Structure 1
Amino acid sequence: MKGILIQQKVFKAIDGRYTENISEEKRLENDEFAYSSIILNLSDSVIRKVGKLETAKELWDRLEELFTETSLPSKLFLLEKFFRYKDLSKNIDENVDEFTKLVQDIKLTGDRT
């Protein structure tokens, strides 16, 4: 999703890094575009959890809270899965893909600074 917002040049509505002086109207337009881009890519069940939020930043932050698990048990589970990973039924490309996914999931459980 971040990639889509960057491509549409509206991720600044979320990270707040406007480098140029833009009008409040343009900021609001960017926020609305980012918000709608995110909402349109969510399932109905997720929309029910976040639908009352008003800005793209609020929406983004709430989705991070809902879907980025950073607890110690979660991290330990992922580390165990990482070190025990072996699937002989998959070819090398599928194994590398799964291994890479595990590495990314472990990184996501780290500090969000």
Structure 2
Amino acid sequence: MEPSPEALWHEAQAQVSLTTRILVVDDSTLDKFYAEKMELVTRHWSGKHGRVVQGINLISLLWTEGDRHIPLDYRFSEKSVDGATKNDHLRAMLDTAKVRGFAPNTIL
């Protein structure tokens, strides 16, 4: 079964509190140095390597309460496919979080 943001939310929903108002955004590059023709693999800046690398760019939204971190949503950045920037994906995830009842005071 293909993973999806909706399936992730279905699993996470029972573990989060909508009244805790801290959401965390993470932008990660999953290195795929040797991938030649792999879906989602494009060139992205990697802070880890300090240069542009071949990989999958994953943008995720987490809910946190102290030591607990629960993923709520994610997007793969494929600007050449969907035309959306990382900021477009972030805004879409925040809009979805608002529809789900989150009203964060802080977004990190």
Q: TM-score, normalised by structure 2?
A: 0.27
Pick the structure with greater CA Rg. Answer: 1
More helix by share: 1
* TM-score, L = length of structure 1: 0.27
Q: Which structure: greater strand fraction?
A: 2
